[in-house]
Structure 1
Amino acid sequence: MNTKILLVEDEDAIRKFVKINLEREGYEVYEAGTGEDGIEIAREVTPEIVVLDVMLPGIDGFEVCKILRSEFPNLGIIMLTAKAEDYDKIMGLQNGADDYLSKPFNPTELTLRIKSLERRIEPEENVSRELIIHEPFKLDKYSRKFYKDDIELELTPTEYQIMKNFMENPGKALNRDEILKLVWGEDFVGDSKIVDVNIRRLRSKIEENPARPKFIETVWGLGYRWHIGV
């Protein structure tokens, strides 16, 4: 079955152009010109991935992202930003996006981002009912769920993959490039800052005091380390 993609973009020319290119790649594409329509269509068709513009009439892309993330935890979301400013990128990620792309962009780059995201949201093949347990945390690879003190925490597909790689490599210092390759893939084209923003968001979910993290440690000048036994 083809991956269903919802494209939420208010500029008709851009939306039509992107839709044509994605359909050529074999995707099943739905389109919306407003945030309100995008939310309604998402509820109707349950897409796997949403490509979401920040600047929309009515409800902006940040709010749409927040709503969709709360209703569809396993949804892949790529934000389109009209500015090169870090603010839009960081805001999108903080509201639950998995990735971002600045306009103007090459359709090939968007396709690569989508393929990278597909790998993160697809279930792993031949996975047994394996639990990785680092008290107070449990990661269930079969159901792709994550728990703290036996309470499930909602993680985005990207956050889940980061936690999976941390818990499979306890105590190992992973630099940002390693995390990018493990989670986003070898062909990812983008800024390593995306790692830092996702780490901040993860810390806000799992740490008692995100400003003084005990589990996801910063390795200064390198990257991050999953610390257990605290």
Structure 2
Amino acid sequence: MDFPTERTVIVTGAVSPRGIGRYTASYLAERGWNIGVIDVDHDSSVAVAEELATTYGVKALGYGANVTDPESVDAAITSFEAGLPQIVALANIAGVSSPVPYLEVTPSEWSRVMSINLDGVHNVSQRVARILVANRIGRIVNISSVSAQRGGGTFSKTPYSASKAGVIGLTRSVARELGEFNITVNAISPGPIDTDIMGGTLSDARKDELTQDLLTSRIGTPRDIAAAIHFLIGEETGYITGQTLNVDGGLYLH
């Protein structure tokens, strides 16, 4: 089935100025997607949406929602259904890091990371999937991490790696269940990306250190991930599903 002429993508975790979510929302809006912005802070979500609408001439709404709370997620998506064109795609980008060594991980830290990075992806995906199934068309892209495949080795450690491994399993299973409805579900596995989730702005020395483990001559930028998301939610990529696309400068091969 063809995409509607006017279509909306929901982007979670889209407020942080240096984050993948914020850059992705701008990248997609620039290319004609209407945007539903979800982040924890309502006022900031609304402000980002207003900026997108003004800058790119698209329709955009922001809603403050905690992705760990299904009722909060439902309220956000319901708002987007009422105020935006048909929801066709979802980019699950909201997430947190966890550099705590394994032997120091507390139950609360484990639950914090799992609830946001894995439960949050499920909560938003399930709510949006009901819309996509009703319309029999859609794209879901989840953000995993090369840490899930390598067992850490970047900035975050075990709780983060375990949660992001769970995202890959969730992606594959949901792709299998929703395929008959013309819905694709894929994951992107970023390597080192220069965002605050890496512990803050990276120094030149830290960038050089990280680059030594890559096959490319630089670490990644949010634009690299935004471009991959744009590709996977495209109308022409309906034959790609259940996949994990490594956007990692070759780190997984190193």
Query: Normalising by structure 2, what TM-score?
Result: 0.37
Query: Relative contact order: is structure 1 or structure 2 higher (C-alpha 8 Å, sep ≥ 6)?
Result: 2
Higher strand residue share: 1
